[in-house]
Each structure stands twice: as structure tokens, then as C-alpha cells.
Amino acid sequence: MSSDNITSTAQAVIKPMNTVSRIWMVPIITAMLGLWMVYYYYSNQGPLITIELNKAEGVEAGVTKIKLRDVQIGKVVKITLKDSLDGVLVSVRMSKEAKKLLVEDAKFWLVSTKINHSGISDLSTLFSGNYIEMQPGKSSQRTDYFKGLDERPISAPDAPGIHITLNSAEEFAFKSGAPILYKGLHVGQIEDVYFNFDERVVYYNAFIEAPYHKLVTENTRFWDISGVQVDLKAQGISLKTGSLETLLSNGITFGVPNGMPVGDPISKRAFFDVFASYDQADAARYQHAIKFALLVEDSVRGLLKGAPVEYRGVIVGRVESSNLMQGRSAKVMNDAVKIPVLISIQPGRIGLPDTEKSLDIIASQMERWLKHGLKAKLSTGNILTGSKIIELFHAGNTEKLAENYKDQQYSGYRVIPVEADEFSQLADKTSQFIANLAELPLDKLSDNANNLFTELAITAQEFQKISHNLEQVLSDANKKSVVSNINETLNSISKVANDFAKGSQNYDELTNTLLLLQDNLQELKPLLRQVNNKPNSLVFSGALSDDIEPKKVTSKSNNANEPKE
């Protein structure tokens, strides 16, 4: 090769070699995309909360959903037992939008199919599975730990209506969800039940829905209408039932007792007593009463607390206690001890205002009546049940009783004298009759009666003999005389029949007589016809001349014949 050719060749350019290949861009971009996805996932992920439940029935991690108004807002991610083993902890991943709902008073509960007396609820969970329902709260305090409820809340926090608290010292009880009715219409429910151990009283938090909450006033009374209520009292037997729902379970109704003003509606939570019946609720309206004591010598069996006190058939009060001795050291077994009964006279029952002023009126009136012979007695209110009532009445000469009146007190209560009841009076009369009967000389009377009976027996035997002999004599006489009389009668009848038989002389004479009588009647026919046509023909034989008939004269002849003056 020549040098010219070597000189004309282009000189090579030397460049440094790249240390990183472009192929590495692919994993770098992939990594960055992954980091961005991780950031996006965590940045858009909702908070993790823990819900404590009594049991995780039908709850599965990764399956069970958290719903609000049937919209999914979270999902269960983990289920663990509590350290104390008395419940389960459910870890739930909520959506980002639900973060603002996680406040202290938010509520969670497990929804599953339930069958009870009121029907079947949440039947859709048989196909979709159980889920956890959420109810938002109103608090502003955030939290990530919640205590799950055992049952669905009765009412929403923002539901229109009014919350009230009911309490009862009776032996009946209501469960959460028990209905509250008004004249058979479902208007509310009991939300939860709380028992106060110090007071030994059951409290029920209840909710009355709008617009029925306006029916709850300051004079409203609540009473039990559970099942079938049979009340045996002095007035008779009372049988009451509520609706079909309360017949199968417990229930409460309310209203304003008859004769009471409606009162003002309540605007905030109020407390009400739950009475066992309407009668007790109605009796509770009388807040003022004046009390008296009765010292009863007879038995107080059948006299119950709440029994009516009547005056001339009108209820004026009630029995407060049938034995004031309870808790005292009095010797009830002593015959001389009288059983004290406490009664109350209520002004509101007799038309007076239910006020303190009316008590003064009743006190002065009772003072006058006691001085003039007012007494009380136990009367039988109902024979079937044996229940008794207290009856007030005036007895005896009022003027004489007023002179001998002595004021008597028992445990600070004025005493009303008590008269024995009807059965005691009847028992006394019976005892007196038996005593009088015992004083009779029964031995002598018995001997005389025995002698009399012996003589009567002998006399009866003698009469029997005489009767037998007389019967035999009459029988013999009848046999002889009756036969002869019958024979004579038959002979006479036969003789008469022969005398008037056809062909006999008597028969011919009777026939001729009848023919002659017939001829005579034929001859009398013309005469009878004439008499029938002209009755006076028997007196006047021929035709009579006509009587002279007066005629009217003319006026000329009348003037000529007038007498001259």
C-alpha cells in the first residue's frame, strides 16, 4: 500500500464508553410506578379500627362487610380473641370517606337473621351473609376502638320524637324492644333496661316516635298491658287483654285518666311510673288524702291494700294498710289486741279539688261526723272472691252519741269506731240461739216425745184393725145388696121394653095418639096463617069502616063562625 493512501485515511475519533445501559430504564420506571402505587394505596386507604363483640357469629376475615344504609364502607381484615377470653376483637379497614364518621358515640352491631314473636328480621343475610351495621354519632372526639352492641338500636340519634325514662317497682319486667302502644297503635319502644341495685328499681329508657310524642304530657300515666290480666277485686272479676303483640309478649300503654286535664306536653326527658293496671294508674291521680285508723276486732281476711272505702255506695278513699302492726312487737295472738287498719279519704274522689285546702274541709267534716256517730264496718265486696271493703255509715241516736263521744288516737291517726260485720253479727245470733237451745230440758222433752210416739203407734194399730174390719163388712154388704139391686133394675127395664114393643097395646095407643095430634095440627094451619097476617082478627071478626078524617074549612066560613064580641 502506498503512503498516499495511508495519509488520506480518516483519523478515528475515540469516545468514552457509557457505563449504564438504557435497558436499565425499564426496571427503574417499574420500581417508580410500584412506589407510586404503594403510595397511592396507603394514601387512599381508610383507617384501621377495632370493634369488640361478644361473639363473631358469621364473621369472616376478608369477607364480612361494614355497611351504612346498605352501602359498604369497610371490611373485616382480622379476628382475634380478647386476652380475657370474654369476647372477640374484630379489626376492620374502613374506607377513606368513613374516617369522619369514627367518633366516640358511633355504634356498631352484628346483623343476622332473627326469628322472634314479632316476626322474622334481616332475612337477606341468609343469602348475603352476616355483616356489621354502623350508626353514625354526633360527637367530635375521634377514636379507633368501639364496643359493639348486642342488638340493633331501637331509634336513631336524630330520629324525631322524645326520649323518656320509665320505672317500676312491680314484679313485671319489659325487655328491650317491647312495644309502647297508644289505643292499640304502635307509637314507641323500650330502648334499654337498667336495674338500680341501690333503689331496687328497674328503669326503662324508652322512645316515643313523632308525632305521637305530643301525646305525652305532664298528666300522662303509663300502665302494663302484657298478656291476659285477670283482676279479682271487690267489684268483681276483671279480664283485660291488649293487642296480639302484647298478648304474646310484654307491652306498655299510656293515656290521661278520665276526668283529669290533659296538661302541657313535655319537651325533654321526663320520668314516669309504670303501674300494674289502669285502675292503679287512675288511683295515682289523687295526690292528697287524710288518713284514719280502724281498730278491728274481727278477721281482716280479704281486706287488701287498695280496697275501696265507701260512704253510702260512693268510693271516697282506699285502704292503705290492712295491718299497721307489721314490724312491731304487739302480741297479735292476744285476744284483747285489735288489728289496726289504715284508710285514707281522698278529696278528689268526692268532687273537691285535689289540694291541701280540701284536706282541711274533709278534716272538719269528719270531725263533725265522728261526734254524731260515724262508724265503719267491714263488708263483703264480692262473695265469689271473698274480698272486703270498708263502709262508712251513721248509726244510732246522733245526739246521744255526740254526748258520749271520746276522741281516740292510734299512732297519730284519728280512730273511727268499728262495728262488727254482717257475718260476725250472724255468728253472734247463731251462738245465742245455740245457747238458748242448750238451756231447754231436752231430757224431759225426749221422754215425753217417746211416750207420745208409743201411744201414737198403739193408736195407729187400733185404727188399722178397725179399718180392716170396716172394709170387710162393707165388702160383704156390697156383694149382696148390689147384686139384688142390679137384678131388680134389669127386670124393670125388660118389663118396660115389653110393654112398648111393636104389636103391644101400649104401642098401638101411642101410635094412634100421634096420628090424632098430626091431624089437629093440620086443621090449625089456616088459623095460624090468618093470625100471622092480621093479629087482631081474633077480636074483630069483619072489616071495619074507615074513621072520619077532619078536613080544612075556607077562610070565609072561618070568619062567619068567629064569635062576636
Place of cell 260515724: 374
Residue 558: pLDDT band with limits 50, 70, 90? very low
Q: pLDDT value at position 396?
A: 67
Q: Is the dihedral of CA 106, 110, 115, 120 positive or negative?
A: positive
Q: pLDDT value at position 345?
A: 92
pLDDT digits (tens, 9 = 90+) for 77-113: 999 999 888 899 999 999 988 888 999 889 999 998 8
Question: Average pLDDT for residues 547-559, to the nearest whole number?
Answer: 51
pLDDT digits (tens, 9 = 90+) for 408-418: 888 888 899 88
Residue 384: pLDDT band with limits 50, 70, 90? confident
Same domain for 100 and 177? no
Q: For residue 498, give the H/E element and its range.
A: helix 442-499
Same domain for 69 and 166? no
In a domain, 486, yes or no: no
Instruction: Out of 286-300, 428-442, 492-506, give the one with best mean pLDDT.
Output: 286-300
Question: Average pLDDT for residues 370-381, to the nearest whole number?
Answer: 85
Same domain for 56 and 106? yes
Q: pLDDT value at position 559?
A: 46
Same domain for 309 and 363? yes
Q: Which of 283, 315, 349 is the last residue of a domain?
A: 283
Q: Which domain holds residue 272?
A: 161-283
pLDDT digits (tens, 9 = 90+) for 302-317: 888 888 999 988 899 9
pLDDT digits (tens, 9 = 90+) for 119-141: 677 888 888 889 999 998 888 89
Same domain for 329 and 458? no
Residue 456: pLDDT band with limits 50, 70, 90? confident
142: CB partners within 8 A, 6+ apart: 102, 103, 104
Q: pLDDT value at position 514?
A: 74
Question: Average pLDDT for residues 397-417, to the nearest whole number?
Answer: 75
In a domain, 426, yes or no: yes
Domains of the chain: total: 4
In a domain, 156, yes or no: no
In a domain, 194, yes or no: yes
Residue 334 has pLDDT above 90, yes or no: no
Residue 497 has pLDDT above 80, yes or no: no
In a domain, 551, yes or no: no
Q: Which of 86, 117, 147 is the last residue of a domain?
A: 147
Same domain for 242 and 276? yes
Residue that wins the pLDDT comparison between 169 and 240: 169
Residue 449 has pLDDT above 50, yes or no: yes
Same domain for 403 and 387? yes
Distance CA 267, CA 253 (A): 20
Q: pLDDT value at position 557?
A: 44
Same domain for 302 and 415? yes
Distance CA 523, CA 508 (A): 23
In a domain, 503, yes or no: no
Running DSSP on this structure, what letter comes out for residue 36? H
Question: Average pLDDT for residues 160-177, to the nearest whole number?
Answer: 83
Distance CA 561, CA 162 (A): 131
421: CB partners within 8 A, 6+ apart: 298, 377, 378, 379, 380, 388
Residue 16 has pLDDT above 70, yes or no: no
Same domain for 167 and 278? yes
Residue that wins the pLDDT comparison between 287 and 459: 287
Q: pLDDT value at position 53?
A: 92
Q: Is the dihedral of CA 112, 154, 136, 85 positive or negative?
A: negative
Residue 55 has pLDDT above 70, yes or no: yes
Q: For residue 245, give the H/E element and its range.
A: helix 244-248
Same domain for 386 and 455? no
Question: Average pLDDT for residues 452-481, to the nearest whole number?
Answer: 70
Instruction: Out of 142-151, 375-384, 420-429, 549-558, give the one with best mean pLDDT.
Output: 142-151
Mean pLDDT for all residues in the chain: 78
Residue 439 has pLDDT above 50, yes or no: yes
131: CB partners within 8 A, 6+ apart: 64, 65, 66, 67, 110, 111, 125
Distance CA 204, CA 185 (A): 20
Same domain for 402 and 333? yes
| Three-class SS state of 479 | helix
Peptide bond into 261 cis (omega under 30): no
Q: Which of 430, 454, 489 is the last residue of a domain?
A: 430
Distance CA 25, CA 29 (A): 6
Share of the chain above pLDDT 90, in %: 17
Residue 542: pLDDT band with limits 50, 70, 90? low
Angle, alpha carbons 349-354-358 (nearest 5°) = 95
Query: Radius of gyration over alpha carbons of the chain, in Å?
Result: 59
Residue 76 has pLDDT above 90, yes or no: yes
Question: Average pLDDT for residues 533-559, to the nearest whole number?
Answer: 54
Instruction: Out of 174-183, 382-391, 486-495, 513-522, give the one with best mean pLDDT.
Output: 174-183
Residue 181 has pLDDT above 80, yes or no: yes
Q: Is the pTM of this model over 0.75?
A: no
Question: Average pLDDT for residues 477-493, to the nearest whole number?
Answer: 66
Residue 293 has pLDDT above 60, yes or no: yes
Same domain for 425 and 444? no
Residue 454: pLDDT band with limits 50, 70, 90? confident
Residue 560: pLDDT band with limits 50, 70, 90? very low
Q: For residue 254, give the H/E element and its range.
A: strand 252-255
pLDDT digits (tens, 9 = 90+) for 142-164: 999 999 988 888 777 778 899 99
Residue 556: pLDDT band with limits 50, 70, 90? very low
In a domain, 547, yes or no: no
Q: pLDDT value at position 431?
A: 63
In a domain, 417, yes or no: yes
pLDDT digits (tens, 9 = 90+) for 508-526: 777 777 777 777 777 667 7
Residue 331 has pLDDT above 60, yes or no: no
Instruction: Out of 192-196, 232-236, 500-504, give the one with best mean pLDDT.
Output: 192-196
